[in-house]
Structure 1
């Protein structure tokens, strides 16, 4: 099963999609410019093995290299 959403429940049972957060300007004191990259799951229907992938992985990598 591919491209499954991964959710967390917050206050009042509100659902939130799990995401990785990165900064466009990590060295800035203020206004770092956060970017969220949503996580997706792929699950094997036979054994349950699960792998995760992230949307916009190129942007996440570029932001990480700025550190």
Structure 2
């Protein structure tokens, strides 16, 4: 996903690898993530986690999201299709 120019406006004012956080109990920061279930158990299921990172245009405000481990998430997704 990393680019040097904005895909919307063409600007080169790009902020890369920005954390996307949610605030939890006690106002604690937690990286926003996606989870894909890897097992089909009633309890103690295993998940593949992908933390979201953002790339933000400093001119138009466009935001693109990505994860660092797309291959692992894809493999976990394929497993869910066979569960």
Q: TM-score range by the shorter chain?
A: 0.7 to 0.9
Give me the CA root mean square deviation. 1.2
Shift of the alpha carbon at 1:19?
A: 0.4
Match of 1:24 in 2: 38
- Pick the structure with greater CA Rg: 2
How many Å apart are 1:34 and its aligned residue? 1.6
Taking the aligned partners of 2:77 and 2:53, their CA distance within structure 1 comes to 20
In the alignment, the residues of structure 2 paired with residue 46 and residue 33 of structure 1 have an alpha-carbon distance, to the nearest angstrom, of 41
The residue number in structure 1 matching 2:65 is 52
Partner of 1:7: 21
Count of residues in correspondence between the two structures: 66
Runs of 4+ in 1 over 2 A off after TM superposition: 27-32
- Name the structure 2 match of 1:64: 77
Partner of 1:40: 53
Can you give the 5+ residue segments of structure 2 that lack an aligned partner in the other structure?
A: 1-14
**Unaligned stretches of 5+ residues in structure 1:** none
Question: 1:27-64 deviations in whole A, cap 9, x for unaligned?
Answer: 33333212211000000011000010012110001110
